[in-house]
Structure 1
């Protein structure tokens, strides 16, 4: 079994598209309007933005949490600034010898999005 798709609530597809294109660094893959569906590809998992979807808490892996925040700019609401959440001693939940950095932001639609990066310990 493999995760295929995650749906996230979006009231304004144009606004949501601009936010996620900036965050992900890639354009949307498909848009169907009507009924109002917008898709992004996350390495083979579809992210569906849809006005009828409930809010989900997404955790997105990024290369560098701070760089992702910088890319989003000053207008993004940072819910939780970048911080180390976990030190990986083994490969059970992430690469051994790395610190897991997380930050949380509000997307353009008011949903909370977690950003995660793995940084080698010095």
Structure 2
């Protein structure tokens, strides 16, 4: 079994397309409006932004949370600044010997998005 699709609420598909294109560094895969659906491909998992979907919290891997935040600039409404949330000692949930960095932002539609990166422990 594998994850195929995640839905996220979006009131304004154009605004959401701009935000997620900047965050993900890719253009949308497909737009169907009506009925109000916007898709991005996340390494084989579809991210569907939909007017009727409930909000959820997405956790997206980025190379460096601080660089991603800088790239987003004014688009990013920071909820929680970049910080180490956990140190992976044994590799069960992340690479052993790495700190897991997270930052939480609001997307263009008011949803919370967690950005996650793994960096070698100092």
User: Which TM-score band applies after superposition, normalised by the shorter structure?
Assistant: over 0.9
1: CA distance, partners of 2:37 / 2:115: 23
Q: Does structure 1 retain, via aligned residues, the 8 Å contact 2:3–2:45?
A: yes
* Partner secondary structure for residue 28 of structure 1: coil
Matches within 5 A, 1:34-113: 34-113=34-113
Segments of structure 1 that go 5 or more residues without pairing to the other structure are none
TM-score by length of 2: 0.98
- Does structure 1 residue 30 correspond to structure 2 residue 58? no
- Does structure 1 residue 15 correspond to structure 2 residue 15? yes
TM-score by length of 1: 0.98
Alpha-carbon offset, residue 5 of structure 1: 0.3
Segments of structure 2 that go 5 or more residues without pairing to the other structure are none
Structural RMSD (CA): 0.7
Q: Which runs of 4+ in 1 moved over 2 A?
A: none
Kindly tell me the number of residue pairs found equivalent between the two proteins: 122
Q: Does structure 1 retain, via aligned residues, the 8 Å contact 2:75–2:108?
A: no
Alpha-carbon offset, residue 74 of structure 1: 2.7
